[in-house]
Amino acid sequence: MKIDIDKLKACVSNLDNARILVVGDLALDEMVYGDTERISREAPVLILRHTHTNLILGAASNAAHNVSTINHGKVSVLGIVGDDYQATDLRKAFEDANVDCSNLIVDASRKTVTKTRISGSCFQSITQQIVRIDRQSSEPISKETESQIVDKLKEIIPEYDAVILSDYQIGTLTDKVIKTAIDVCKKHGKKVIVDAQRDLKRYKGATSMTPNLPDTQKYVGFDIKSNKDILKAGEKLVRDTGEEYVLITCGEEGMALVTKDKKMIRIPVFNKSKVFDVTGAGDTVTALYSLALASGAEPVYAAIMGNMAAGIVIKQFGCATTTIEELQNFIDNNKKLLEKFNIGEYDEKNI
């Protein structure tokens, strides 16, 4: 299969049309920086003179941020925060990223999920992380909080074109929340895309999911070393979940889109050079893939756009995002490369 460049550019242009709801485990990454001064007399630890703090959207929050930079803020989040100052910081980070956070549910018995990384440097040295502090509630959400999420899903899903279920195993996405989201989306003809690491069978009836290769291997229970293995794994995922297609991300080996009619499309990485940081790349793929499907793109073109976006953000440090303009520039600057790419198509007969 050859990429139709004009069709791809049209698909990218349409990304701004879709409204997305992200439901799941919201988190804040707090990055604290300082300069080392001396060793404390109280204990054998460094004393840092604080220089600055960066607040970054993490976990499901990062998926929403990725969507927002593409569709100019037509994205909302539904999740849980605590009654603490970290919730205020998270709201501010959402507002700065142009993400609607009016549907946040406050549960005073839980902590706003916050991962604080403290880093320091001294004269003529690089900045290094010294310690990380995680604030997180480990117990399941209460039935009262679960009911609030369920009621909110029934109320607001009709306003959106697609729902992303982003599961970081922190407890927001209970079986009841998952089933409600999928059932309501089906009722109103909305797409629902899953980004989860474990218990993939829980998401039965969703439109699609975007597991990475290690998580796929854990689920299917066998090593994936060839295209035949990927097709077999993808078929199992589709069969077990009843989804229309799954997109398996394979790192430097690109992606594999497996459909319910037992066909697989392999999409190679467009540019393996200058990989600086893969942090958050999975959220970028999910965001672009979901936006594209919600905008009416064919699954294979949705996957190609997710692949392109990942190729852009891994050249930047941290949880980076991209824009429609950057995607269009990528196509224009790599037109000859894209035209030469042969997207592999396989089934059980020719693999």
For the stretch 127-130, contacts whose Cβ atoms lie closer than 8 Å and that sit 24 or more positions apart, written own/partner, are 127/33, 130/46, 130/48
Provide CB contacts within 8 A for 215, sequence distance 6+.
196, 197, 198, 200
**Smallest Cα–Cα separation from 80: which of 142, 2, 154?**
142
For position 274, what pLDDT does the model report?
52
Task: Give pLDDT tens digits for 229-275.
Answer: 999 999 999 999 999 999 999 988 889 999 999 999 999 887 655 54
Catalytic residues: 283
Say if residue 200's pLDDT is above 50: yes
What single-letter amino acid sits at 62?
A: N
**Smallest Cα–Cα separation from 131: which of 190, 16, 45, 67?**
45
Mean pLDDT, residues 71-81: 96
C-alpha to C-alpha distance for 276 and 29, rounded to whole angstroms: 19
Say if residue 323's pLDDT is above 50: yes
Say if residue 30's pLDDT is above 70: yes
139 pLDDT band, cuts 50/70/90, is confident
Number of domains in the chain: 1
Among 139-153, 179-193, 287-301, 317-331, the least confident range = 317-331
Mean pLDDT of the chain: 91
DSSP class of 140: P
Say if residue 181's pLDDT is above 70: yes
Mean pLDDT, residues 16-36: 95
Task: Give pLDDT tens digits for 265-319.
Answer: 999 887 655 544 334 467 889 999 999 999 999 999 999 999 888 777 655 444 4
Mean pLDDT, residues 191-202: 95
| Strand 245-249 with 255-259, pairing | antiparallel
What single-letter amino acid sits at 5?
A: I
Q: What CATH number is attached to the domain comprising 266?
A: 3.40.1190.20
3-state secondary structure of 38: strand
For position 280, what pLDDT does the model report?
43
Task: Give the C-alpha distances (Å, rounded to integers) separating 203 from 103, 163, 250, 257, 342.
Answer: 23, 13, 21, 18, 32
Task: Give pLDDT tens digits for 148-177.
Answer: 999 999 999 999 999 999 999 999 999 999
The tokens for 205 are 């009836």
For position 314, what pLDDT does the model report?
58
- How large a percentage of the chain has pLDDT more than 70? 94
3-state secondary structure of 155: helix
Q: What is the largest CA-CA distance in the chain?
A: 71
C-alpha to C-alpha distance for 346 and 303, rounded to whole angstroms: 16
Between 308 and 28, name the one with better pLDDT: 28
- Do residues 191 and 206 lie in contact, with contact meaning Cβ atoms separated by under 8 Å? no
142 pLDDT band, cuts 50/70/90, is very high
Domain with 194, as residue range(s), is: 5-347
Task: Give pLDDT tens digits for 102-129.
Answer: 999 999 999 999 999 999 988 767 889 9
User: H-helix or E-strand containing 196?
Assistant: strand 191-196
Report the sign of the C-alpha dihedral through residues 304, 307, 309, 315, in that order.
Answer: negative
The rounded radius of gyration (Å) of the Cα atoms in the chain is 21
For position 273, what pLDDT does the model report?
54
The tokens for 204 are 């039965």
